[in-house]
Structure 1
Amino acid sequence: MSIPDRKTIEDFLHGQVACWNKGDKQGFFAHYREVASKGLSIEYVGQPERDAWQVLEGMWAQQQTRVRIEVKLVVINGSEAACHHRNAFIGNEGGIETIELYRFEEGLLSVRYFIAA
């Protein structure tokens, strides 16, 4: 396994959002498993470290039916990406802005979420 190329990173970033928005939990997790076969870390910046797979499960259970992800900007440089997403509330006004940093290695994915309070 090698470091993912730009197309693989783009496919992951856009694919996982598409699966989230259509309620495809199996597809959502498959995107993560594909790029993080050797390990996944997820950090909500400013919060204690937690198990990444449990973070994704909790995120899905608590937010998927309440939030639609709107992609505002995706920047990919080498094996890293930065995304600006608006997590729009379904059926209500407003949403939550996030900046998400992704670092891809050989079978490893590290994600850092910055959430606007």
Structure 2
Amino acid sequence: MSMDKQAIEHFLHGQIEAWNSGDKEAFFAHYRSVSPNGLTIEYVGKPQHDAWQILEGMWAQQQPKIRVEVRQCIVNGTEAACHHLNAFREGEGGIETIELYKFEGGKLAVRYFINM
């Protein structure tokens, strides 16, 4: 399963839309659709954990509080780099992230760099 730019952009935009609108089913469906052979998620600098548990935890803890605003998203080949503002739904400000996505052989590897 080779991912082209259109398929990658569909995933990237689709998961953000699902997150922002509170559609958990669609959010997880986007991740499943691009990772039939495996998903890894790494918070760079932190210990490795099960990717699906990370997504579940993110959804439960962050989704009600955070709205993702896409600052920049660049797709080159089968990789993408996204700069997001994780904006607080209530009040000002947010947390900046750089997110790297690598699509290869039905696997997705995600690396989050979080500006704390």
Same fold per TM (> 0.5)? yes
**Gaps spanning 5+ residues in structure 1: where?**
none
Q: Does 1:83 align with 2:75?
A: no
Which amino acid letter does the alignment assign opposite residue 25 of structure 1?
Answer: K
CA distance in 1, matches of 2:14, 2:76: 18
- 2:26 is equivalent to residue 21 of structure 1: no
The runs of 4+ residues in structure 1 deviating greater than 4 Å are: none
Letter of the 2:51 partner, please give it. Answer: A
% of aligned pairs identical? 64
Deviation per residue, 1:59-94 (Å, 9 max, x gap): 000000100000000000000000000000011111
Alignment root-mean-square deviation, CA = 0.4
Instruction: List alignment gaps of at least 5 residues for structure 2.
Output: none
Amino acid at match of 2:80: A
Give the drift of 1:106.
1.7
Tell me which residue corresponds to 1:69.
68
Q: Deviations over 1:32-63 (max 9, x none)?
A: 00000110000000000000000000000000
- Superposition TM-score, scaled by structure 1 size: 0.98
Equivalent residue, structure 1, for 2:49: 50
| TM-score (ref. length: structure 2) | 0.99
Q: Aligned letter for 2:20?
A: N
Query: Within 2, Cα distance between the matches of 1:61 and 1:37?
Result: 23
Q: Measure, in 2, the Cα distance between the counterparts of 1:112 and 1:3.
A: 20
Equivalent pairs, count:
116
Deviation of 1:3 (Å): 1.7
